[in-house]
Amino acid sequence: MLQKLFNHKVRIALAMGFVLMLVLVRAYEDSLFYDPFLNYFKSDYNNLPLPEINNLKLFIGLLFRYFLNSIFSLAIIYVLFKDVQGLKFASIMYVILFVILIVVFFCTLSFFDGDNKMVLFYIRRFLIQPIFLLLFLSAFYYQKQNR
């Protein structure tokens, strides 16, 4: 087991580097992205109205953050599994999931006023955090074990 780790030290180092990049995206989220919901959901949001937002800037900020998280996540998947077909599948899934989530997010924001704050919170969470990486890593690992 230890010998396997030494044989794959470059792959492990690269994967850890990309994980560090994901951490840096999170650490500098306030300065990199326009997202009025960052501070809103850190406060007592149940008693506050929704913040004023610029829809275009919010969309661009969410797109940029999702893009960065997706690129680093796909790099982690490629470094760990070296599966080009799987990488193509994951890339397509990231695009499809973004389209679905962003449409649902803005529909919820536009049509349901402030009644569904928790729905907004969780949809936004999927857009700004690399949650899909956890799903894809476990799926690719399971697929690799069953080959």
Whole-model pTM: value is 0.89
Q: Is 34 helix (H, G, I), strand (E, B) or coil?
A: coil
Any idea where the domains of the chain sit in the sequence? Answer: 2-145
Please write the tens of the pLDDT for every residue from 58-117.
999 999 999 999 999 999 999 999 989 999 999 999 999 999 999 999 999 888 766 678
Please write the tens of the pLDDT for every residue from 8-26.
888 889 999 999 999 999 9
- d(C-alpha 52, C-alpha 145), whole Å: 49
Q: Judge whether 59 and 35 are in contact, CB under 8 Å.
A: no
Three-point CA angle 93, 99, 104, nearest 5°? 125
Averaged over 121-135, what is the pLDDT? 93
- Taking residue 43's Cβ as centre, other Cβ atoms within 10 Å add up to 10
